[in-house]
Amino acid sequence: MASHAGGEHPFAMTRIPLHRWISAALTMLLTPLVAAATCDGPIVAATINYEQLGACNGFKRPDGATQAAKPGHAYVVFRISTVTNTSTGAADFSLDPVRLFVNSDPRAYGVGTYPLGWRRPRAVEPRVVRAGTVETFNGTVTMEVSEGGAGTDGAAAAQNVSYFLSHETPAGTQGVLMAKSNSAQTSWNYTNDCAKIEEFYPNP
C-alpha cells in the first residue's frame, strides 16, 4: 500500500491528550442535566421564616390547669416571623400551623395554640398569604419533642439542641421552604414556665 505524504495514514487517529478526553466526556454528561434544570424553570415555593425561641416544661391552660410535658419530653417554642410568597408563578398559600412539625421519629407536630402570654399575637393562626405578597405573623408555634430520656429535665436538655421545622405540603400544591434565622445558634433560653419565654423574646 502506498504511503500517504508525510508518512501518516489518511485514517490515522489523531492523538488527543487524556485531560481533554476527560473534559469532553464530563461536558457531554453534564450538559443534559443543566438543560433539564433550565427547562424545569425556577422553583415555585412560599418561604416560611422562623426562629427558635427556647425550651420549657409546661404552661397554664385557659382553664387554669397546668399543662406539663410528658416525661422525657419538652416544649420547644418557635416564632413564625414572616411568610414570603413572591416567587414567579406563585399561587395563594394557606399557612396552617398544624402542618408544621419537627422532623424527628416520630414526627413532633404542633400541639395547639398555647397561651404563652404573647400580646401581639399569642400564637400563629391559619391565614392565607396571597400570591406576590409578604405577610408578617410574629406569632408562636409550640412542639412537644422527645429529649433527655425518662427521669430527666427535658427542657434543660432541649435548650442546647437546634431543632428545624418542616412543613407537610399536600400533593398538587406549590412547595414550601423553611428558613431558620438563628440556625447557627447553639443554645437557647430555658424556663420551667413557658409563659416566661416572653421575657427573653418579646414580640416586635
In a domain, 5, yes or no: no
Tell me the whole-structure pTM to 2 decimals.
Answer: 0.75
In a domain, 31, yes or no: no
In a domain, 135, yes or no: yes
In a domain, 12, yes or no: no
In a domain, 3, yes or no: no
In a domain, 30, yes or no: no
Domain count, the chain: 1
State residue 35's pLDDT score.
36
Helix (H, G, I), strand (E, B) or coil at 20: helix
- Name the residue among 169, 11, 158 with its Cα closest to residue 76: 158
pLDDT at residue 25 tops 60: no
In a domain, 125, yes or no: yes
The residue range of the domain holding 177 is 45-200
Cβ atoms < 10 Å from Cβ of 192: 13
In a domain, 127, yes or no: yes
pLDDT at residue 22 tops 90: no
Q: Give me the mean pLDDT over the 148-166 stretch.
A: 91
